[in-house]
Structure formats: structure tokens, C-alpha cells
Amino acid sequence: MSKHVLVVEDSEELISLYRDLLEPDGYRLSFLAGSDDIIQHITELQPDIVLLDFLIAGINGGELCSQIKKNPATSRIPVIMATAYPRLLNSLGHYGWDDFIAKPFELEEFYRVIRKHSLKVAS
């Protein structure tokens, strides 16, 4: 069965890139660009992985990650934080993400992180 990745991202270019990288490997993707009820969407969709942009217009990705991890209905879902500012992300403290990808990313690193968490979900 294909793994479901929910991508929370507001960049059309990155949405297209994630689609090009993951769909050929059999991942099923859903996208959210921002919403007041993201937690509700995640709860309803129950993805296998959430790929979350740290800086989305009007949304603090760290706080959103914290909400995902504190919610009993979503706490088991691995959250991979994607950021162009990894030093800033680390300096702000840990919000409970399971992994992060620094943008721009190397393809090998991107696939390694996604597959690592796909395997955790499978076991």
C-alpha cells in the first residue's frame, strides 16, 4: 500500500518538486497551503508523514508541529520540518519534529529522510 504524505507548503514550485520526486516512487500526496484548521485536516486525513514548511505565510511551522504532536489523534504521525533556515530552526528550540530537511536539499538526503520515516510507519 502506498504511503500518504501530507505536504504543508505555500510555494507552488516546491509543491511541484515534491510531486515530481515522490509520486513516481509510489507515494500518495495531499497538499495544504495554509488554513485555520490544519490540525482538523491532518486528523481527518491521517497521513503517514507530514512534510511541513517551517515558514508559511501566517503560520508558525514550529507551533503547528507542536500542536500535531500534542494532539492524541495526530501525535504518532512523523513530522519532517523543511526549512531554508536550519540554524534558526535549531536556535528556536525543538517543537517535536521527527526530522528536518534543510532547503535547498540534496536529493539523496531528501529521499533518505522520507524513506527512513516511511519504514518506521511500515513497522
Dmax over CA atoms of the chain, in Å, equals 38
What one-letter code names the amino acid at 97? Answer: W
Tell me, what's the pLDDT at 24?
A: 96
β 28-32/55-56 pair status: unpaired
Tell me, what's the pLDDT at 91?
A: 64
Specify the CATH number for the domain of residue 59. Answer: 3.40.50.2300
Tell me, what's the pLDDT at 50?
A: 98
User: What is the pTM for the complete model shown?
Assistant: 0.92
Of the candidates 68, 51, 5, 59, the residue with the CA atom closest to the CA atom of residue 35: 59
* Domain count along the chain: 1
Tell me, what's the pLDDT at 95?
A: 84
Tell me, what's the pLDDT at 98?
A: 94
Tell me, what's the pLDDT at 61?
A: 87
What does the alpha-carbon distance between residue 80 and residue 12 come to, in Å, rounded to a whole number? 19
pLDDT, averaged per 10 consecutive residues of the chain (123 residues), comes to: 91 96 97 84 96 87 92 96 78 82 94 93 63
Q: Which domain holds residue 34?
A: 4-122
Q: How far is CA 63 from the centre of its chain?
A: 13
Which ranges of 4-106 would DSSP assign to H, the alpha helix? Answer: 12-22, 38-45, 61-70, 86-91
Tell me, what's the pLDDT at 88?
A: 72
- What φ, ψ does residue 38 adopt, rounded to 5°? -60, -40
